Structure 1
C-alpha cells in the first residue's frame, strides 16, 4: 500500500500564503471558531485542544487529558478572541473521543454579528459552542476525525447552529506531519438566518533536528469561502530543558495593512500537571494591541522535558521469612506501590529469606517486575544472602550486601518425600 504523498499539502500551504499577500482587507473571523491561539499547530497539536484545532490529531494523543484555556484581549479588540474553553480528550487504542465547551465573550468592538447595537454603543454578544469529536488512527502514520458542534446564545443570530468539520493528518515519518481540515462543510445556519460557509485549513509541520520534538516549525493556510480570502500562519515550538516547551505563532489577517496577531506561550510540565502562560499582541488587536493567555491541564501521562520533582522512595523491611498470610500482604503492598504515582522507587531490605517456597519467590519476582514496568526503581539490600534471596533480588535494578554479611548460594533445590512403601507396610491406603 502506497503512503500518501505530503508534497501536495505543502504546495497548497505555500500557494495559500502567496494568495493571501494579494488580499486587500482584514479577513473577518469565523463564527464557528472557538478559543484558540496562533501557536497551536493544526498538524502537530496532539493534546485535548485538538478537538477544535484538528480532530484527527486526537487519536495521536498519549493519554486522557482535561485542559482549561483562558484568552483575553481589551474591549477595543476587533477580534472575538476572548473566552474560556474546557477540553476533555480520551484516546484509547486506535480510537479517540473528546468533549469541548467554548464560552465566547467578544469585545464590544468585535463587529457584527459578535457585537450588536447602534454605532458607538455596540455590545458584545456572548455565545457558546459545544463540540464532540471522534477520531481513528490508521496505523502509525495517519488519522481521520470529525467534530460535531452546536451553538447556544441569547442572540438569535448566534444561536442554533450545527456544524460538522472533518480532518485528515498524515505523518509519513518522524520529520514531518501534514494535515487538512474541512470546517463547517455542512454550511450551518443560525436561528437568526446567519449562514456560515465552508472553509479549509492546510498545514505542515517539520522536526528538523533528527525528527525529535526538540524543535518544531509549522506553516499553515486557511481558506475562507465566506470572503474568498486566505489567512497565512506560521508557528514554532522549542523544548526548554527542565521546564517544558516554548511556543510562538503569528497570523497575517490583512497583508495590505500589515494586520498581524502574534501569540507566545510557555508550557511548564509539573509531573501530570501542565501550566500555560502567554501573551497576545499585534496591531490586529486594536489600539491596546495586547492580551494574555492562561491555561492548565491534568493528564494521565508525564511529558518531557519537565521540572524535576522530589523523588519518593519507600523502604520495605522483612525481618523474618513471611508465612502464607504475610506473603500475600507483601504482594499486595508491592502491587499498591506499583500503582502509586507518588512513589518513584523501592528499597527492599531482606534480613531473612523472603519466601519459604520457590512458588512464593517467583510471585515476588513478578511483583518486582510489575513495579519496574510502571517506571519504578527497585533496590535490594541483603544482610545475609541465601539462594532464595538472590533469586528474588535478581529482578531488582541493583543489589547491595552488608559488608559484614555473606553469600550462601548452593543453588536452588526441591525435595520430595515418598511414603508409599511405609503406608503399604502399615496397611494404610491413602484416599486422595
Structure 2
C-alpha cells in the first residue's frame, strides 16, 4: 500500500485537509468520496503523463477505497477517514444497554447508575480482505482504555483509521460526570471530550456529549445521546451533530436478565441517516454469553464473552458489506476487571475465606468511615460474608481471626449461627484467638478447631450478671428519690433508691445468671465434645495459661498468625489460597429497575422525643421514617430492629402509633437486639412477628415515675429558691422540696393508668387477654428464650431470620433479588467521637457499659421532672 506516498503529492485533496469536501461525512457517500479522491489525483497528473500513470491512478484509488472500508465497524459512517463521532464504533452495544465503564463512548448516562470500580481495555484489529486472497491483519485499528469509579467515567482512545498512514492517527480523551440520577430508573450525564490537542491543526479540539437513560421497568430501557454538540474539528474535518436513540427489551418474563434485544437509530445533522442497527445478548449460563448485531445495510457480526466473578473477556468478529461486493472484516477484543462480583465461571476451588475481627468492628448495620477515614467493619457485613461462603463453590474453609473486637452476646450468637451453617454445608471453620475471654471463646466454640496465640491469654471465667446500686451514694449527697411504680419487678427505681437488690430484683438476677450460664457452658460442652459438668469444671479450675488450655483440650493448637497457612494446609490436605477481600465483596447489579426493598429501621438507645447527645433514640425521627415507609411502594416489608431499654412513655407511644399504621399497609417484623425491654417492648408489640435472640433482655412491661428531692443538697451548698404559684401543683417537679402524700397519690393514679394502657396494647398485639399479659408483666425482665416460652416472642433468631420472614410475608421468593435498606444512617454520638479519637479502646469494657448506663440515667434525670411516665428496664444489668 502506498497511500502516504501518493496522497502527499501536490494538488491532491487529501482526506482531512481544509479543502476536502465536508459532504464526505454522508454515511452513504463512499462512492462520492471516491470520486473526489480520484479527481484530485487526476489533477495532479499532467496530460502528457496521464496515460503513463493511469495504472498507478487506478491502484491508488483502489487502495484508498480499501482503507476506508477497513476503517472500523462503522466504515459506512466515515467523515473522510474519521468516524462520525471520532470514537471507536462498538457494534454490539446499544445506547440503552452497555457495560457502565463504556459510558464515555456509548452513553454518558451510564455513570449515573455506577457503583464500584471497573476498567475495560478494547483492541480493534482490522483485517484486509481482498478477492481471492486470505484475510490478513491491517495496521489500521484502535485501542481504548475505559475506567469508571462510582459516578466518574474516564476514557482514552488511540485510533488509526488508515492503513500505513500515521498522519491520521489520533488520541481522544473523555471525562464523564453525572448531572442527575434517580435511583436506578433515570440518569442524565455529560462527557467532555478532547481530540488530540498535540496532533491537531484545528482551532476547536473540545467537544461534549449529553446522554440520558430511562429504565422504568425491569424489562425496558430507553437511551438517548446527543453527540458532537460542540462540533470539534480534527485535522480540518469538522464533526457533525448526531442524535442516537435506542430501546432495549428483556422479553423473558421468567428470567429477564437472560436475553436482551435492542434497536438503535442514528440521526445525522445535514446528512442522510445511517441504517438502524439491531443487537442481541444471550446468557447461556453463568459465565458464558453470546452476542450479535446487524444493520439494514447487511453489516453484521457475532461474539462470545466469558465471565468470571471479577473479570472477563470477549471477542467479536464483524463483517461490513462494501460497494461492488467488496467486504471488510474486523476483530474486536475486550478484557475487563471489576471490584464488583457478578455471575461467572468459578475458577479455583479449595479457597479459604479469611476474616479479621478487630477494634474496627462495629455493631452497626453497614460499614462506615469515621471522622478520620478509618474504615469500620459492621457485624452485619461479617454475617453476610459468612452467609455467602455457605453457597460459594470456591470456598471449602473459613478462618476467623479474632483480635480485639468489642463483642456482645447478641453479636456472637448471630456469628455462631453462621459458623454452624458453614459446618453443616461441609465447610471447615477455624477460629484463631489472639486472646481468649468469655465472648471470644463462646464464639470460637462454634468452630471445628480453636487456635490460640501462644503468647496470648486465656481469661475464660464464665458469665455473670451484675447490678449497680447508687442509693447509698445519693443519700450521702443529700438526694432522695421519690417514685411510684406498678409491679415489684419494675426494678429500675432500685438502682437509685437501694444499696442492695430487693427480693424481686434478686429473683430476676438469678434467672438471668442461670440462663447465661446454661447457654455458655452448653456451647463449650458441645463445641469441645464433653459434658456440661466437665466444661464447668474446667472453667472453674482457675485461670489457665495457653499450654494448660491446650492440655485441657479447651483449644486445639497453639499457633502464631504466620503459621496459620501451614496449619490449614495440614488440616485440609492441600495448600490453600486466602480470600482476604471476601468481607468487602459487592455484587454487580444486573437488573434495570430497582429490586424490591426490605427496610431495616434501627431503633436504638433510650427513647426520648428528640434523642440525646449520647446517641439516644429520637422518637420523632423514627416515627417520621416509619410514616415515610408506609407510603413508599418500593418497600415491600419493614424490619424494626429494636435495641432499647425503653425511655419516655409518651415518646414510646409516638413510635407505637406509627408501627400500627405501617402494619396496615405492609408486613412489620421486629428483630430484637441486645435489649428490647419496657419501652423497647412497647414499640415492638404491634408487629406481625417478633424475633429475639436467646440472650435478648426483653419484657419489663411496667411503668414508673420518679422525682428527686434535693433540698438537703441545696441547703448544704447554701442554695435556696422562692416559688410563687397560683395553682396547687405548679411546682410538682421542683427539686427544692419533697412531694406530699396527696401528690404521690395523684402520681400513682397516672402511672397505673399508663400501665393499664401498656398491658392492653401488648395484649392486642399478641392476641391475648390483658389478664394473661398482666401475669407475666408487672415489670418482670425475661431473656429471649424465656419470653418465647411465655408468648412475648414468636421466634428465636437474629436480623437475618427476621429478613427471611419479611421476605416471606411480602410474597418474595427465596432467590428473588431484594435490596436491604438500613435507616436511619448513624449520626454523631459522643461514643463515636471517643472511638475516633482513640480514647474508647483504652477504656475497660465494663466501664464502657457503665458509661452507657449513666448516659441513659442522665436522660432520665433530665426528663423525669416533666411528669412523664417512664418505661425503662433495669439499666445497670450487665452480662459479660
Q: TM-score, normalised by structure 2?
A: 0.34
Aligned residue in 2 for 1:130 = 173
Q: Decide whether the 8 Å contact of 1:239 with 1:305 is kept in 2.
A: no
In 1, Cα distance between the equivalents of 2:357 and 2:279? 56
In 2, Cα distance between the equivalents of 1:90 and 1:394? 41
In 2, Cα distance between the equivalents of 1:33 and 1:134? 20
Runs of at least 4 residues off by over 3 Å: 23-27, 153-160, 284-288, 305-309, 326-332, 335-350, 357-372, 377-382, 387-396, 399-414
Aligned residue in 1 for 2:91 = 38
CA distances 1:271-294 after superposition (whole Å, capped 9, x unpaired): 211112221223249846322111
Aligned residue in 1 for 2:275 = 231
CA distance 1:226–1:240, change in 2 (3 Å): same
In 2, Cα distance between the equivalents of 1:328 and 1:225? 61
CA distance 1:37–1:361, change in 2 (3 Å): same
Aligned residue in 2 for 1:180 = 224
Q: Does 1:88 align with 2:158?
A: no
Return the structure number with greater helix share. Answer: 2
CA distances 1:199-245 after superposition (whole Å, capped 9, x unpaired): 10000000011262100000010111242323310000011214232
Q: Does 1:290 align with 2:329?
A: yes
In 2, Cα distance between the equivalents of 1:251 and 1:371? 55
SS in 2 for 1:250: strand
In 1, Cα distance between the equivalents of 2:419 and 2:189? 36
The farther-off stretch of 129-138 and 307-316 is 307-316
Q: Decide whether the 8 Å contact of 1:39 with 1:235 is kept in 2.
A: yes
In 1, Cα distance between the equivalents of 2:245 and 2:94? 11
Q: Which runs of 5+ in 2 are unaligned?
A: 1-26, 31-75, 131-137, 363-376, 432-437, 448-522, 537-693, 698-782, 784-845, 847-880
CA distance 1:265–1:70, change in 2 (3 Å): same
SS in 2 for 1:34: coil
SS in 2 for 1:53: coil
In 1, Cα distance between the equivalents of 2:175 and 2:258? 31
Which of 1 and 2 has higher RCO (CA within 8 Å, sep 6+)? 1
Decide which of 219, 243, 247 is 1:204's aligned counterpart.
247
In 1, Cα distance between the equivalents of 2:245 and 2:121? 26
Decide which of 152, 155, 158 is 1:103's aligned counterpart.
158
> What is the 5 A alignment of 1:352-371?
359=407, 361=409, 364=412
* C-alpha displacement of 1:262: 2.2
In 1, Cα distance between the equivalents of 2:532 and 2:317? 63
CA distance 1:330–1:84, change in 2 (3 Å): closer
* C-alpha displacement of 1:302: 1.3
In 2, Cα distance between the equivalents of 1:172 and 1:80? 44
Q: Does 1:279 align with 2:301?
A: no
Q: Which runs of 5+ in 1 are unaligned?
A: 1-22, 110-114, 116-122, 317-325, 417-432
> What is the 5 A alignment of 1:40-189?
40-75=93-128, 82-91=141-150, 96-108=151-163, 125-135=168-178, 136-152=180-196, 156=200, 160-189=204-233
Q: Decide whether the 8 Å contact of 1:380 with 1:393 is kept in 2.
A: no
CA distance 1:138–1:371, change in 2 (3 Å): farther
CA distance 1:361–1:101, change in 2 (3 Å): same
CA distance 1:142–1:76, change in 2 (3 Å): same
CA distances 1:241-277 after superposition (whole Å, capped 9, x unpaired): 142322111234xx4xxxx332322221222111122
In 2, Cα distance between the equivalents of 1:35 and 1:147? 15
In 2, Cα distance between the equivalents of 1:329 and 1:24? 67
Aligned residue in 2 for 1:10 = none
Aligned residue in 2 for 1:426 = none
CA distances 1:74-98 after superposition (whole Å, capped 9, x unpaired): 3569x9982000001112xxxx111
* C-alpha displacement of 1:153: 6.7
SS in 1 for 2:100: coil
SS in 1 for 2:274: strand
**Which is greater in Rg?**
2
In 2, Cα distance between the equivalents of 1:368 and 1:52? 49
CA distances 1:101-154 after superposition (whole Å, capped 9, x unpaired): 010011339xxxxx6xxxxxxx76101110111124223311001111111177
In 1, Cα distance between the equivalents of 2:442 and 2:281? 48
> What is the 5 A alignment of 1:261-410?
261-284=299-322, 287=326, 289-313=328-352, 344=395, 346-347=397-398, 359=407, 361=409, 364=412, 392=443, 404-406=529-531
CA distances 1:20-44 after superposition (whole Å, capped 9, x unpaired): xxx9656433343322321112101
* C-alpha displacement of 1:198: 0.6
In 2, Cα distance between the equivalents of 1:68 and 1:358? 44
* C-alpha displacement of 1:188: 2.0
Q: Decide whether the 8 Å contact of 2:28 with 2:272 is kept in 1.
A: no
In 2, Cα distance between the equivalents of 1:302 and 1:24? 43
